[in-house]
Amino acid sequence: MANIEYSEQEQIRRESLAKLRELGIEPYPAAEYPVNTSAAEITAGYDPEKGNFQEICIAGRIMSRRIMGAASFGELQDASGRIQIYVKRDEICPDEDKTMYNTVWKKLLDIGDIIGIKGFAFITQTGQLSIHAKELTLLSKSLRVLPIVKELDGQVFDAFSDPELRYRQRYVDLIVNPQIKDTFIKRAKIVATMREYFNEAGCLEVETPILQSIPGGATARPFITHHNALDIPLYLRIANELYLKRLIVGGYNGVYEFAKDFRNEGMDKTHNPEFTCMEIYVAYKDYNWMMDFVEKMLSRISIAVNGTTKVDIAGNEVDFGGSYRRLPILEAIKEYAGVDVKGMDEDGLRATCKKLGVEIEPSMGKGKLIDAIFGEYCEKNLIQPTFVTDYPVEMSPLTKRHRTDPSLTERFELFVCGKELANAYSELNDPIDQLERFEEQAALKTKGDDEAMFIDFDFVRALEYGMPPTSGLGMGIDRLTMFMTGQTAIQDVLFFPQMKPEKILRKEDKDKEE
C-alpha cells in the first residue's frame, strides 16, 4: 500500500475504521438499504394531525451532531436536502448492550459518514421537524474531513469557495454547497426540453463517430491520437456536422445529436477543450426558417427552466421571448466600428485592421480579418438575443451562397450578452462549390492557419449523390446552460472541467523533494 502521510484527523478516522471492524461492524456493507423516502418528501408532506411518515427508512450524510448524554440531535443530508434526526440511546440500543450509542454513535462516527435511519417523523418541543431514530446503520465511513461551512454573527467560516478546489473536487463541492446541484438539474432540463422540441418536430436523434480520420465541420485545431490496429492517425471530432449531413443525403428529413466535441485550444471562462454541442439538420428548410425555429425553442427552454422568458445574465435582463433582431454582419461592422468593409480585398482589410488597432496574424485570410474586426468592435454590444446574418463567403466554407449576393452566405450566428450561442446555415449542397471551398481552406492551411479545414473527399462524394436544400444549426449546451442559469464561467456548468494536473505526493516522494 502507498506510504501516504495523513493529517491528524485523517489518522483518527482510520483508527475509528479499525475499531468498528473490531466490533464486528462492517463500515462498507454490501447489502441493499431499503430507502423509502427523502428529506424533501418528509419536509413537504408531514402532517402531525395525520400522523404520517411513521415508518421512515432514510439514508444520508451526517452533517452535524449535538450529543447530550443519553440523547443527541444531528442533521442528515440526502440528495434532496437536510433534515434533523433525534437519536436516543435506549431507542437504538433497547437491550443491555449500549455499544451502538455509547461507542459507535458518540465516538466512532464522524461528520460526513453515510448512515441509514429507520424511525418516524415528529415535531420537537422547539417546533423542529425531526426523525426519531429507532435503528441506526453505518453505510459508509468517511475517511476525510469535510470543510463544513459555519456561520456566526453573520460571518461565514470554512466556506468551500475557492474555484480551483471546487472544480477539482466537485464531489466535495456538491456535498458542502448543495445549492449548486440546481445548476446541473437545470442543465438536464434544458437538454430534455430541446430533445422533446426536436422530437415533436419529427427529427431523429442519432449518434456519429467521435474518432474521425478527417476532423471536419468547423475551423479548429484538433486533438490527434493513433489507432494501433490500423496504424493510422485519428482525430477527436471538432464537430459532427459532416456526418449528420451524410444522413440527410441518405434520406432522413431531420436528424440531431448531442455531441461531445474536442478542440485543442485555450481555456478560459467561456471555453473548455471538451464541450457539448447540439447540432440539428432539417431538409427542405433554410436559415430564415431556422431563425424562427430557434426563437421558439429558446423561449420554451427559458420558461421550462426559469418560469419566464426573462433571465438575468451578468446584470443584464435578457429576454428570450418574441422575435430577435436580425443584423447583417457587414452592417454591424459599419454600425459599431464605423467602417464599410464590403468589397474590400485582403490588403484593404489588413490596412483597416491596422487603422482600427485590431491585432491580426500573417496567416489570416479575408474571413478571419473580418471576424477580427467584428469580434473587437461588435460582439460586446450584442446584449439581447441577436441574429448576426449574411457572412462573407470566405468566413463560411460549408454554407450556401446568398440567393441575392454571391459574395455572402446564408448564415447566422446568435449572440447573447456579447457571446456566440449558436451558428446556423442554409447548408451548401453544391458539390462543385463545396470542393472549391475545401481547396481554399487547404490553401490557408499551407499559409500556416492550423485551424483551416481539411478536404473531406468522401463528404464531397456524398454531396454528389444529391443533398436536398437543408438548414443546419449548432448550439453549445454549456454556454446555453450558462445563460439560462446566470453563471459567468463555463466551469460552473461542467461537473468536471479540464484542469491542470494535480500533483498528489506520497510521503516517500515528499521526503525526496525535501
Of 400, 461, 396, residue with least CA distance to 433: 400
pLDDT of residue 220: 87
What is the gyration radius of the CA atoms in the chain, in angstroms? 29
CA distance 484 to 295: 14
pTM metric for this prediction:
0.90
Reported confidence tier of residue 260, pLDDT bands at 50, 70, 90: very high
Largest separation between any pair of C-alpha atoms in the chain: 94
pLDDT at 63 over 60: yes
Residues in the chain: 514
**What's 127's DSSP letter?**
S
pLDDT of 433-453, one tens digit each? Answer: 999 988 988 888 888 887 788
Reported confidence tier of residue 160, pLDDT bands at 50, 70, 90: confident
Of 393, 425, 387, 426, residue with least CA distance to 408: 393
pLDDT of residue 216: 86
In the chain, the percentage of residues whose pLDDT exceeds 90 is: 83
pLDDT of 453-493, one tens digit each? Answer: 889 999 999 999 999 999 999 999 999 999 999 999 999 99
If you average pLDDT over residues 496-508, what whole number do you get?
Answer: 74
pLDDT of residue 110: 96
pLDDT of 312-358, one tens digit each? Answer: 998 999 999 999 999 999 999 999 999 999 999 999 999 999 999 99
* Neighbour-count burial of 73, counting CB atoms closer than 10 A to its CB (0-12 exposed, 13-18 middle, 19+ buried): middle
**Beta strand 274-283 with 470-476: parallel, antiparallel or unpaired?**
antiparallel
**To which H or E segment does residue 67 belong?**
strand 56-68
pLDDT of 373-392, one tens digit each? Answer: 999 999 999 999 999 999 99
pLDDT at 50 over 90: yes
Which residues does 290 contact at the CB level (< 8 Å), separation at least 6? 282, 412, 424, 471, 472, 473
pLDDT at 4 over 90: no
CA distance 451 to 455: 13
pLDDT of residue 135: 97
